[in-house]
């Protein structure tokens, strides 16, 4: 287990044409093997039914060879985090997830342990949003009110998971994803990495890299969005300060 920050931030648990988590099996196995991880603590708080959600994820991860338990089954959640080698924070609703993590006093604990290299972090979708600076670039509906939009802050920038290109044939007049991220940058200076489905960000200490089959898209205030090729070194983003 390397004693520096280790993150695998996945855009989505599902990709069209693949079974649940199968599209990212290679990245999960590589992440776990290089960190000698055998057991994973799953965090199901982005969904309502914790048992059913944990069973679904555990089934997929057991298929890859990892024993998986749900944090909700532990009486003392902080102890569960302290004893874990690696957590996987699943997708669902980002607001519900962040609110629950604050209610359980887990935000600071996870930040400390991951930053120190004592806990490895995998997240998908909402679980990726909460790992970043803030949840201000989630796509989710604000169904519950969290105490703040500030998130765990394992990286100093934001991510937009499920990043979606505009469809020129779409007649719907709602904002495109790019419109929304432009609005974000009218109010915030933080860079945003758009992760298309089928991509992820891998962080090893001070190094960050886009992984997966597709390009990422990087949005910075007052700059044109930039296409990022797979395997591009994105370590410079880890140096960002607002």
Residues of this chain that bind its own copies (CB under 8 A)? 12, 14-17, 48, 92-93, 95-96, 135-145, 148-149, 162, 164, 171-175, 180-181, 183-184, 186-188, 197
Known catalytic residues are 125, 140, 162
> Which pair of structure tokens corresponds to residue 161?
């998971």
Work out how close the CB of 138 gets to its own copies at its nearest, in angstroms, rounded to a whole number. Answer: 7
Looking at the Cβ atoms of 187 and 229, the one nearer to its own copies is 187
Looking at the Cβ atoms of 145 and 236, the one nearer to its own copies is 145
Looking at the Cβ atoms of 38 and 164, the one nearer to its own copies is 164
- Strand 158-163: give its sheet, edge to edge: 158-163, 192-196, 216-219, 226-228
Work out how close the CB of 172 gets to its own copies at its nearest, in angstroms, rounded to a whole number. Answer: 6
Work out how close the CB of 29 gets to its own copies at its nearest, in angstroms, rounded to a whole number. Answer: 21
Work out how close the CB of 65 gets to its own copies at its nearest, in angstroms, rounded to a whole number. Answer: 25
Work out how close the CB of 115 gets to its own copies at its nearest, in angstroms, rounded to a whole number. Answer: 24
Please tell me the distance from the alpha carbon of residue 46 to that of residue 156, in angstroms, as a whole number: 22
């Amino acid at each position: 287990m390397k004693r520096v920050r280790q993150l695998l931030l996945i855009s989505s648990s599902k990709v069209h044409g693949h079974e649940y988590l199968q599209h990212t099996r290679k990245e999960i196995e590589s992440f776990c093997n290089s960190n000698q991880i055998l057991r994973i603590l799953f965090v199901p708080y982005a969904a309502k039914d914790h048992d059913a959600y944990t069973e679904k994820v555990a089934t997929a991860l057991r298929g890859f060879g990892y024993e998986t338990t749900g944090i909700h089954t532990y009486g003392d959640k902080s102890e569960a985090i302290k004893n874990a080698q690696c957590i996987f924070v699943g997708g669902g609703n980002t607001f519900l997830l962040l609110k629950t993590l604050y209610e359980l006093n887990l935000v600071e604990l996870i930040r400390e342990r991951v930053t120190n290299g004592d806990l490895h972090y995998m997240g998908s979708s909402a679980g990726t949003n909460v790992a970043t600076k803030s949840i201000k670039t989630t796509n989710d509906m604000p169904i519950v009110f969290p105490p703040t939009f500030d998130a765990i802050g394992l990286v100093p920038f934001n991510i937009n998971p499920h990043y979606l290109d505009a469809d020129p044939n779409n007649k719907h007049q709602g904002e495109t994803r790019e419109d929304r991220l432009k609005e974000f940058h009218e109010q915030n200076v933080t860079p945003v990495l758009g992760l298309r489905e089928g991509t992820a960000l891998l962080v090893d200490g001070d190094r960050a890299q886009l992984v997966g089959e597709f390009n990422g898209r990087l949005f910075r205030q007052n700059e044109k969005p930039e296409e990022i090729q797979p395997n591009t070194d994105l370590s410079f983003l880890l140096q960002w300060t607002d």
